[in-house]
Structure 1
Amino acid sequence: MAFSFPLYLLLPLLVSVTSAQSTCPDGEEIIYSPFRPWFSFDYGPEPGDCWKAAICTLGQADPARNQQFAATALVMGLLPMVFRDIAWPERRVVLVSSPLPTLAEVLVRALGLEPVITGGVAGWSAEDSERWIDWLRNSSIAGAALRSRFRAMILVFASLFALLASYAGLALVEIYSKRTALGCVYPIIALTWCLVSVIPAAIHVLFESFRRKGVKKGSESGDTRASAVQGGDQQWPVQISWGIYYIIGTLVYTSIMAVTPLELFVWVVIMAVVSGTGKMLALYICLMLRSPA
């Protein structure tokens, strides 16, 4: 009796795995099938079963292919942190002439940039700030928003359209190129992770407003450190909120399993586009509302 109880609990799982493997497509069709979603295969009595797709893909693959799947899952797990923060060290800081409106600041931080009032970056001298502003003026892309407010508004709407188009591309890539565990429950979980960044951003802005009030009262320094990790200079609730956000992102992207090399390349490209267009939108919002130049 001591050994029958755990076997009794595992029996339904073993039956489901066995039945799924008995209805798997033959050969390399499902193991190496870039851009063919799970619902394009016929798994027998219940076609379009996402869980059966995962069982068939990993169960029929040879050890070398399974090791490749594990390696690509590791690379996928690095995408959120690398493209959102690590790839944008000091360029993630945007100098502004005064604090942004609350909603605009939440959006800018959610997109990955750090609006900082000129002269408020710890370790930055006046020459460093002037060098940043000179880069802004001489940049053919970023400096275009400085020529007129009307042009800045056009660039904001253009970058917003580009960001929405990249989000749509991310959703299509997620649906048509993944065999994901979490995606069996919710199909566009990676896109949702990008949008949920407004929650830690709102917490960040809330505590930043408290910090500014403390600076006005003379209770603490108002300097912000140029960090490659968002919220690294803030209080612990902000750090925890961003930490939980990135942990969830890592879990989401590593759950996108059995990604082929071609699909991995497309994932890297689309994540770079999503990150780049989002940061351009955030930059243009800052320049339209509170340009330091």
Structure 2
Amino acid sequence: MVSRSAVRPWATAFILASFLASLAHAAGETGSKRIESGQCPPDVEAIMPYSPFKPYFKFPMFKGNSQNCWVAADCLMEASGESRKQQFGAVALVMGLIPLTLKDIAWPERRIIHVTKRLHWAVQVFVLALGLVPLETGSRQITLQKSIEGSWVARACWEMRRASVVLAITICSILTVASYAGMVFMEIYSKRSALGCPFPFFVAVWYVVALVPASIHSTFAALRRSRYGKKLHGENNRSESEGAETRKYGAANGGVVLPQDSEEDNERKKKIVSAVQGADEDWPVQLSWGVYYIAGTLIFTSIMAVTVAELVCWVGLGFAITASSKLLGFFLCLVFEQTGVKGEGYAE
């Protein structure tokens, strides 16, 4: 008679072997060894490793189910050699630089847009989301001089009539929407994002979500101006009660006395504003923009198996979105200015 102690090791080994076999089978269905388990096309190594602009639904065996994009991505990675995987990794690093470089860092001195009066909150949010920072001057003459300084394009735009500016806004809006549509098209016809393969709109949504940090930016900027104005009013009242000499009130600041900054201080503030969006604002503004750009880097890096040809298109679309967005923001600010007077302010 076989003892119970002799049976236990065999039973344990059998249970363990069954468990490992089930794990291997599950791995073949959900992640690894898709080629061996027959989940990939027969000639996968010939057709999938280099397949630019060929999404998963272009392969017959992956049609009909959006979840098959995960299977297609796994098949592509399994079929790719080490050199191809190295290329994918290098391209992913470049993709991660697109949000910061093309949308923000590459345009340091071109981010500031001078305006005579404070924009409406909604317009300001939209302009901030498009990548520009409105900077009030309080004087149309100063706005004109600052805007056309070293830019013949801005000079020509300031000579445009209001109807022409509205037409330019319409054209730029169409170009911006078309660029966003191009991003959606690129994500659909690429290997999608590893963050959510069935949802091919991560990049376009990231551009639209810029409205959130822009709203925070505009709100905290208004609060900061309010606090600053109250503080200066209090200082002025104390100065008057003590018989001190009354400082001049600036019409551009609604009767609030602003200290006269030196040219060096103004230049320093301009560089701070232009260096990083929201850098001169309160910490929630800086945090919101920081999280936004980190999310953008994550999204662009997560696009799977980007080929060099696809990378060129991604970069081109990035330039298109940035250029059209900044032009749209510029004309949105310009429409609130008095334009159409040729030759004015150019000689100063």
Bin the TM-score by the shorter chain. Answer: 0.7 to 0.9
For 2:40, give the aligned amino acid. C
Query: Is the aligned partner of 1:40 residue 2:58?
Result: yes
Query: Is the aligned partner of 1:175 residue 2:192?
Result: no
Report the alpha carbon displacement of residue 18 of structure 1 after superposing the two structures with TM. Answer: 4.4
Report the alpha carbon displacement of residue 20 of structure 1 after superposing the two structures with TM. Answer: 2.7
Report the alpha carbon displacement of residue 47 of structure 1 after superposing the two structures with TM. Answer: 6.0
For 2:39, give the aligned amino acid. T
Query: CA 1:43–1:218 in structure 2 vs 1: closer, same or farther (change >3 Å)?
Result: same
Match of 1:123 in 2: none
Kept in 1: contact 2:166–2:335 (CA 8 A): yes
Q: What secondary structure sits across from 2:46 in the alignment?
A: coil
Instruction: Determine the C-alpha separation between the residues in 2 that align with 1:199 and 1:102.
Output: 13
* Partner deviation per Cα, 1:246-283 (whole Å, 9 max, x = no partner): 11111111110211100000100011101110110001
- In the alignment, which of 115, 124, 127 is matched to residue 96 of structure 1? 115
- TM-score, normalising length: structure 2: 0.73
User: Highest CA radius of gyration, 1 or 2?
Assistant: 2
Kept in 2: contact 1:98–1:117 (CA 8 A): yes
Query: Is the aligned partner of 1:30 residue 2:24?
Result: no
Instruction: Determine the C-alpha separation between the residues in 2 that align with 1:30 and 1:161.
Output: 35
Q: What secondary structure sits across from 1:94 in the alignment?
A: strand
- In the alignment, which of 324, 333, 348 is matched to residue 286 of structure 1? 333
For 2:149, give the aligned amino acid. D
Report the alpha carbon displacement of residue 169 of structure 1 after superposing the two structures with TM. Answer: 1.1
User: What is the RMSD computed on CA atoms of the aligned residues?
Assistant: 3.0
Match of 2:130 in 1: 111
Q: Work out which structure has the larger RCO, using CA pairs closer than 8 Å and 6 or more positions apart in sequence.
A: 1
Kept in 2: contact 1:179–1:257 (CA 8 A): yes
Match of 1:213 in 2: 226
* Partner deviation per Cα, 1:55-113 (whole Å, 9 max, x = no partner): 11111111110000000011101101111111100111001101111110000000100
Larger mean CA deviation between 102-111 and 141-150 belongs to 141-150
Match of 1:57 in 2: 76
For 1:233, give the aligned amino acid. D
Query: CA 1:154–1:142 in structure 2 vs 1: closer, same or farther (change >3 Å)?
Result: farther
Instruction: Determine the C-alpha separation between the residues in 2 that align with 1:278 and 1:134.
Output: 21
For 2:325, give the aligned amino acid. G
* Partner deviation per Cα, 1:197-237 (whole Å, 9 max, x = no partner): 00000000000101111222236989753333211111110
Query: CA 1:166–1:133 in structure 2 vs 1: closer, same or farther (change >3 Å)?
Result: same
Match of 1:133 in 2: 148
Extract unaligned runs of 5+ from structure 1. 121-125
Report the alpha carbon displacement of residue 167 of structure 1 after superposing the two structures with TM. Answer: 1.0
- In the alignment, which of 78, 84, 95 is matched to residue 103 of structure 2? 84
Q: What secondary structure sits across from 2:134 in the alignment?
A: strand
Query: Is the aligned partner of 1:192 residue 2:205?
Result: yes
Match of 1:277 in 2: 324
Instruction: Determine the C-alpha separation between the residues in 2 that align with 1:218 and 1:67.
Output: 58
Match of 1:17 in 2: 31
Q: What secondary structure sits across from 2:50 in the alignment?
A: coil
Kept in 1: contact 2:206–2:296 (CA 8 A): yes
* Partner deviation per Cα, 1:131-167 (whole Å, 9 max, x = no partner): 543335x21x673254211111111111001111111
Kept in 1: contact 2:103–2:322 (CA 8 A): yes
Match of 2:255 in 1: none
* Partner deviation per Cα, 1:18-44 (whole Å, 9 max, x = no partner): 463232232331110111011111347
- TM-score, normalising length: structure 1: 0.86
Instruction: Determine the C-alpha separation between the residues in 1 that align with 2:182 and 2:195.
Output: 19
For 2:46, give the aligned amino acid. E
For 2:187, give the aligned amino acid. E
For 1:289, give the aligned amino acid. F
Instruction: Determine the C-alpha separation between the residues in 2 that align with 1:280 and 1:91.
Output: 11
Kept in 1: contact 2:147–2:155 (CA 8 A): no
Query: CA 1:272–1:142 in structure 2 vs 1: closer, same or farther (change >3 Å)?
Result: farther
Match of 2:175 in 1: 162
Kept in 2: contact 1:118–1:129 (CA 8 A): no
Instruction: Determine the C-alpha separation between the residues in 1 that align with 2:22 and 2:117.
Output: 62
Extract unaligned runs of 5+ from structure 2. 1-11, 233-257, 340-344
Instruction: Determine the C-alpha separation between the residues in 1 that align with 2:338 and 2:221.
Output: 20
Report the alpha carbon displacement of residue 50 of structure 1 after superposing the two structures with TM. Answer: 0.8
